[in-house]
Structure 1
Amino acid sequence: MGACWTLPNTLLGLLLGVACLPFGARLQWRSRELALAFRRMPWPGPGGALTLGNVILYTSDELNTPCLTYAHRAGQRQEQPISLADHERAHVYQFMLLGPLFLPVYLLCGGVSVRNPFERSADRYAQSGRGWWPS
């Protein structure tokens, strides 16, 4: 049911990923994340990822790579690196629950920042395997 509910977001992610195939992006199915993944996305800047529904777009060759939590990057505390795959999986679950409401709610909660409870809960899930929903 969640995959159908978030289909508009998934289609947006697919459009973005397919548009980048001629520029080096590569598509793969990630069963653990319940998502299609486009690796080697050609956007500028250091490594990173963006999840849209059941699509994960990321710049590196491997999704299961270490990354820093939002709190660590913001200098709020020292934390061990987490798995980018685990962090993005939490966002897939969040999208599947909120469907087309996710993006507006996410933006109202602070967008891409340490203040956003969706990002903090994705970090918590990547650290512990629990708590992908904001508490």
Structure 2
Amino acid sequence: MPRMLLGGIGIAWTLPNTLLGLVAGAAGLAFGARPRLDRRACALVFQRWPWGPGGAMTLGNVILHTGDTLDVACTTYAHRAGICEDPMIVLGEHERAHVFQYMALGPLFLPLYLACGGISVRNRFERAADRYAHSGRGWWPWPA
């Protein structure tokens, strides 16, 4: 199946999640958030999103980011937890992996993500996104 067709199916499949992201992103517009299309990530990025502790969060094909650019270095979840000494990763690549996860799992993503531990180093979705940010491969959270 051609890649564009699969991408279109993934975008449609995760539309309920994307709508949540669009509502959250639109709410931030009045407080300084600025939307930008990121074709490589298949996502609409709301930069300077005004809420949260910092960093980024993905909802379907929407990335909510508190900073000015996703092209910033950050540590992995495992590194922050003191489990290992990982090299820095690019935040945008980590979030792009989450977009792909959403496109594959659609409305199942959020319940599975929460069942796997939410925002933590134990979460296989976060470890896979870190792996993808390191290597450009391996965004799928379960072994093949």
Q: Using the TM superposition, give the Cα deviation of residue 44 of structure 1 relative to its aligned residue in structure 2, in angstroms.
A: 3.9
Alpha carbons of structure 1 residues 11 and 44: separation in structure 2 relative to 1, 3 Å? closer
Question: 1:79: how far off?
Answer: 1.1
Aligned-partner SS, 2:111: helix
The answer to whether structure 1 residue 88 and structure 2 residue 95 are counterparts is: yes
Percentage of identical aligned residues: 65
- Could you tell me how far apart the structure 2 residues matched to 1:91 and 1:120 are? 11
- Find the counterpart in structure 2 of residue 22 from structure 1: 30
1:94 is paired with a residue whose SS is helix
CA distance in 2, matches of 1:19, 1:110: 27
For 1:127 and 1:44, locate their aligned partners in 2 and report how far apart those are by CA, in whole Å. Answer: 25
Match of 2:17 in 1: 9
**Letter of the structure 2 residue corresponding to residue 61 of structure 1:** D
Q: Where does structure 1 differ by over 3 angstroms across 4 or more consecutive aligned residues?
A: none
Equivalent residue, structure 2, for 1:76: 83
What are the residue-to-residue correspondences of 1:108-119 with 2, within 5 Å? 108-119=115-126
| Structure 2: segments with no counterpart, 5+ residues | 1-8
- Could you tell me which runs of 5 or more consecutive residues in structure 1 were left unpaired when the two chains were aligned: none
Residue-pair matches, total: 134
TM-score of the superposed pair, with normalisation by structure 2: 0.91
Matched, 1:38 2:30: no
Deviation of the 1:120 alpha carbon = 0.1
2:127 to 120, 126, 129: 120
Instruction: Name the CA shift for 1:77/1:35 in 2 (closer, same or farther; >3 Å).
Output: same
3-state secondary structure, aligned to 2:27: helix
CA distance in 2, matches of 1:132, 1:52: 16
Q: Quote the RMSD (CA, aligned, Å).
A: 0.7
When normalised by structure 1's length, the TM-score is: 0.97
Residues of 2 paired with 1:54 and 1:77: CA distance? 31
- Amino acid paired to 2:78: A
Instruction: Kindly state the Cα deviation for residue 64 of structure 1 after the two structures are TM-superposed.
Output: 1.2
Please state whether the residue corresponding to 1:23 is helix, strand or coil: coil
Q: Which residue of 2 aligns with 1:61?
A: 68
Deviation at 1:81, TM superposition (A): 0.7
Tell me how far apart the structure 2 counterparts of residues 4 and 81 of structure 1 sit (CA, whole Å): 33
